[in-house]
Amino acid sequence: MRDVDLHWPHVREWKDSGEARHIGVTVSANARQGLLEGFMRANSPDFVHVNYSPMENGAEERVLPLARDLGMAVLINRPFMNGSYFGMVAGKELPAWAAEFDCETWAQFSLKYVLANPAVTCVLTETTDPAHMEENIRAAFGRLPDEVTRRRMRDLIRGF
């Protein structure tokens, strides 16, 4: 959303002329999501790129439902809060009930939470390690948590 008033008219021109196929905007802080919501309503971007995880879940209140209602794609950033998530869960045992949605690791715990939201189109993970990439990809397979389980996941993480 930085300098969006300056850049959006040009980006819109690129789309209208065929130079760009899809255009969108990004926020990475919960405090900016109100601005994003207003922008979404006024400008109809093709996609939004927003922070979202079990620890940063403010987007699920208004931004994600609005994107779904307006037919916008949603890219998620910060599913691991730039790595600080792993400090929160370090030394903690993954709950046995995580197996109910085919979750084997703490990374998959966060990713499955995000992927289970029906508004989410794509999750951008934060890794350069091929082993972590493989672990992250496995979060896209198997069952996903339902809304009751997602609430349980949020409560667990808040307790750390």
Domain ranges (residues) in the chain: 4-158
Neighbours of 112 (CB within 10 A): 26
The per-residue DSSP string of 80-143 comes to TGGGHHHHHHTTPPPPGGGGGGT--SHHHHHHHHHHTSTT--EE------HHHHHHHHHTTSS-
Blockwise average pLDDT, block size 10, the chain, 160 residues: 90 96 92 92 97 94 97 96 94 98 98 98 92 96 97 95
| pLDDT value, residue 28 | 83
Amino acid identity, position 9: P
The predicted model scores a pTM of 0.93
The CATH superfamily of 4-158 is: NADP-dependent oxidoreductase domain (3.20.20.100)
